[in-house]
C-alpha cells in the first residue's frame, strides 16, 4: 500500500521498440515513490523550486523495503521543505543549531538551559563554519580541542593549509570539558545535521561516522560504609541541612526532590512522604523528573521522629519571625552583579555572559525544609554545606548524589528485597538505571569470596595441606 497523494513509478521498463518510456514531468511539491531495479531499493523524492543559481532542488531518501518508504511518506511534511530557504550555502553551524533547537518540543527550563549550554559550547568553536562545507576532520578537531584527551587509536586529520599570503592562526588554549559533555555536544551536532539531511539541505551527515572521544573515565568512589554514614549524621546534626542529609540517606531521594518538598507533602500521622516535584531556580518548584518519580515513601519510625522534631523547631522560628517569615531577603542589583562575577570566576567556563536564557517566573511554595527565614533552600547552598560536612568528617570529596547511590547499593544487597522494590522507592523508569547506581564495596567482596570457599570445598584442612605441599 502506498501513501495517499503519492505517485509510484517503476523505472527500467521498456517500450515495444526497446526504448525507455518518456519520462513523466514531475509536479513541484508532489512526493514520488520510485522503485530502483538496479539494487531493489525504494526512493522517495520531492521536486522543489530550484536553487537561486539554477541547480535542481530534489531531496531524496532511499529505503530497503516499500513499507519503510511508505512510513516515511506518511510523516513527510512537504510544506516544511518548501519553507526552507533555498540558498542554504551560507547557513552556519550556529544557525543550524538554532533551527534544530527551535523544532524540539517544549520542555522544562532545566532542559532548555541544558540545550542552550551545549549549543553555546559548540558554537563558540564552530558557530561560524558553513554547514555545506563542514568536514569530518573539523568535527574531530573540535572534539579533541575540548576533550580531556585526544582520541586513542585515531590520528587527528590536519587542518587545511592557509592560502598563500595568509598567516596561519595561532592555536588558542580552550576550556576542557568532561567526556560526557563532549559526547552530548557530538549527539546534538549529529542530530542537527541528520535533520538537515532529512530536509534536503545536505547530501550526507559529516558527523555520522565521527567516534566519541576516548577519555579515561573518573574512578567511581565506593559506597559509604556504616561507619562513614554515622560520621556524616553526627557532623551534620548542627548543620542547616541535617534533615536533607538524613532524608537523602534514608530514602535515596534526589537533592532537588528533597529541597522541593512542600509542607503538605508530609503526613505526621502516618509518616508518609509524597515526592512529586523538584526545586527550581529562584526558589521555585516544578514537576518531577519523570512519571515514575511521582511516588510515596513511608518513613521509618526513627526518621519520622526526627521530622516531627524538625517541624516543632520550624514552628518556633516562624512564631519568632512573625510577618517576615517566608519573605526573601532583598538584594541590591550591585550585589547581584558581584555574585554573578564571582560565579563566573569560580567556574571559568569561558562562555559569553549572555548565554543563559531568562528563567520563568518562580512558582512559590511552602517548603518542608526551609531556611531560617522560611524561604526555600537553594540546591547550590546545600552542596556547599555538604562540602563542609565532608571536610569535618575527614572524608574524600563525594557529590551529594552519592547518598542515593549508597541507598540503592545497600538496598539491593539486603535479603528479600527485589530490584523492582528498589526501583519503585527511588523513582526510576527502568531497572537498568537502578543497577547503574550499584557501587563496589571491599567488605562485600570479602564476604563473597569467603562464602564461595566452603562451596568449592577449599576450606578443608587436607585440601589446604595438599596445596601447601605442592
pLDDT single digits (tens) 267-285: 999 999 999 988 887 677 8
Residue closest to 376 by CA, chosen among 270, 280, 264: 280
Residue closest to 280 by CA, chosen among 367, 355, 344: 367
State how far the Cα of 89 lies from the Cα of 91, in Å rounded to an integer: 6
Averaged confidence pLDDT in the chain:
80
State how far the Cα of 22 lies from the Cα of 31, in Å rounded to an integer: 19
For residue 331, the model assigns a pLDDT of 80
User: In 3-state terms, what secondary structure has residue 287?
Assistant: strand
Min mean pLDDT across 26-35, 54-63, 344-353 is at 344-353
For residue 29, the model assigns a pLDDT of 77
- Across the range 80-96, mean pLDDT stands at 73
- Is this prediction's pTM over 0.85? no
User: In 3-state terms, what secondary structure has residue 307?
Assistant: helix
Q: Of 90-99, 196-205, 275-284, where does the model show the most confidence?
A: 90-99
Residue 262 has pLDDT above 80, yes or no: yes
For residue 440, the model assigns a pLDDT of 72
Convert 282-315 to b/e letters by CB count within 10 Å (16 or more is b): ebbbbebbeeebebebebeeebbebbeebeeebe
Q: Which residue has the higher pLDDT, 180 or 203?
A: 180
For residue 185, the model assigns a pLDDT of 93
For residue 295, the model assigns a pLDDT of 93
State how far the Cα of 423 lies from the Cα of 431, in Å rounded to an integer: 6
Contact in structure between 194 and 208 (CB atoms under 8 Å): yes
Cα separation values, 78 from 9, 193, 384, Å? 19, 19, 53
Residue 307 has pLDDT above 90, yes or no: yes
Residue 150 has pLDDT above 50, yes or no: no
- Across the range 396-407, mean pLDDT stands at 90
- Residues 308-360 have pLDDT tens digits of 999 999 999 999 988 889 888 888 888 878 877 777 666 556 666 666 777 76
Contact in structure between 212 and 142 (CB atoms under 8 Å): no
**DSSP assigned state of 10:** E
For residue 154, the model assigns a pLDDT of 42
**DSSP assigned state of 131:** G
Q: Which residue has the higher pLDDT, 284 or 225?
A: 225
CB atoms within 10 A of CB 356: 14
**How many CA atoms are closer than 13 Å to the CA of 349, on its beta-carbon side?**
17
Q: Which residue has the higher pLDDT, 291 or 155?
A: 291
- Across the range 285-291, mean pLDDT stands at 82
Provide the strand spans (E) within 159-271: 266-267
Q: Which residue has the higher pLDDT, 164 or 109?
A: 109
Min mean pLDDT across 29-38, 63-72, 83-92, 306-315 is at 83-92
State how far the Cα of 310 lies from the Cα of 369, in Å rounded to an integer: 8
Amino acid at each position: 500500500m502506498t501513501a495517499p497523494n503519492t505517485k509510484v513509478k517503476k523505472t527500467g521498463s521498456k517500450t515495444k521498440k526497446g526504448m525507455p518510456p518518456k519520462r513523466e514531468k514531475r509536479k513541484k511539491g508532489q512526493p514520488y515513490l520510485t522503485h530502483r531495479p538496479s539494487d531493489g531499493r525504494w526512493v522517495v523524492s520531492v521536486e522543489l523550486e530550484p536553487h537561486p543559481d539554477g541547480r535542481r532542488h530534489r531531496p531524496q531518501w532511499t529505503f530497503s523495503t516499500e513499507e519503510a518508504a511508505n512510513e516515511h511518506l506518511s510523516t513527510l511534511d512537504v510544506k516544511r521543505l518548501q519553507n526552507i530557504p533555498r540558498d542554504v550555502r551560507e547557513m552556519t553551524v550556529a544557525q543550524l543549531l538554532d533551527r534544530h533547537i527551535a523544532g524540539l518540543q517544549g520542555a522544562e527550563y532545566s532542559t532548555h538551559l541544558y540545550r542552550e549550554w551545549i549549543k553555546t559550547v559548540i558554537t563558540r568553536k564552530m558557530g561560524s563554519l558553513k554547514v555545506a562545507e563542514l568536514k569530518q576532520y573539523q568535527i574531530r578537531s573540535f572534539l579533541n580541542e575540548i576533550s580531556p584527551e585526544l582520541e586513542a587509536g585515531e590520528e587527528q586529520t590536519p587542518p587545511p593549509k592557509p592560502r598563500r599570503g595568509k598567516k596561519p592562526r595561532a592555536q588558542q588554549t580552550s576550556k576542557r570539558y568532561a567526556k560526557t559533555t563532549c559526547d552530548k555536544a557530538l549527539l546534538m551536532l549529529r542530530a542537527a545535521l541528520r535533520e538537515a539531511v532529512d530536509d534536503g539541505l545536505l547530501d550526507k551527515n559529516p558527523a555520522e561516522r565521527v567516534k566519541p572521544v576516548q577519555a579515561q573515565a573518573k574512578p567511581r568512589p565506593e559506597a559509604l560504609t556504616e561507619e562513614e554514614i554515622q560520621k556524616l549524621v553526627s557532623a551534620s546534626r548542627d548543620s542547616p541541612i541535617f534533615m536533607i542529609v538524613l532524608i537523602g540517606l534514608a530514602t535515596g531521594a534526589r537533592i532537588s526532590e528533597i529541597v522541593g518538598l512542600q509542607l503538605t507533602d508530609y503526613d505526621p500521622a502516618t509518616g508518609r512522604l509524597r515526592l512529586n516535584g523538584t526545586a527550581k531556580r529562584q526558589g521555585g518548584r516544578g514537576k518531577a523528573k519523570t512519571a515514575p518519580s511521582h511516588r510515596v515513601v513511608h518513613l521509618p519510625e526513627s526518621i519520622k521522629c526526627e521530622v516531627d522534631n524538625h517541624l516543632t523547631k520550624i514552628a518556633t522560628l516562624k512564631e519568632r519571625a512573625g510577618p517576615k517569615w517566608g519573605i526573601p531577603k532583598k538584594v541590591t542589583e550591585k550585589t547581584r552583579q558581584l555574585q554573578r562575577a564571582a560565579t563566573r570566576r569560580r567556574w571559568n567556563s569561558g562562555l559569553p555572559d549572555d548565554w543563559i536564557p531568562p528563567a520563568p517566573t518562580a512558582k512559590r511554595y511552602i517548603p518542608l525544609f526551609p531556611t531560617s527565614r522560611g524561604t526555600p533552600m537553594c540546591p547550590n547552598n546545600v552542596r556547599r554545606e555538604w562540602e563542609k560536612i565532608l571536610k569535618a568528617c575527614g572524608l574524600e570529596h563525594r557529590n551529594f548524589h552519592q547518598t542515593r547511590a549508597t541507598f540503592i547499593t545497600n538496598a539491593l544487597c539486603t535479603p528479600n528485597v527485589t530490584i523492582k522494590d528498589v526501583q519503585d522507592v527511588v523513582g526510576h523508569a527502568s531497572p537498568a538505571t537502578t543497577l547503574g547506581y550499584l557501587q563496589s564495596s571491599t567488605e562485600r567482596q570479602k564476604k563473597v569470596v569467603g562464602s564461595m570457599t566452603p562451596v568449592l570445598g577449599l576450606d578443608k584442612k587436607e585440601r589446604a595441606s595438599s596445596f601447601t605441599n605442592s
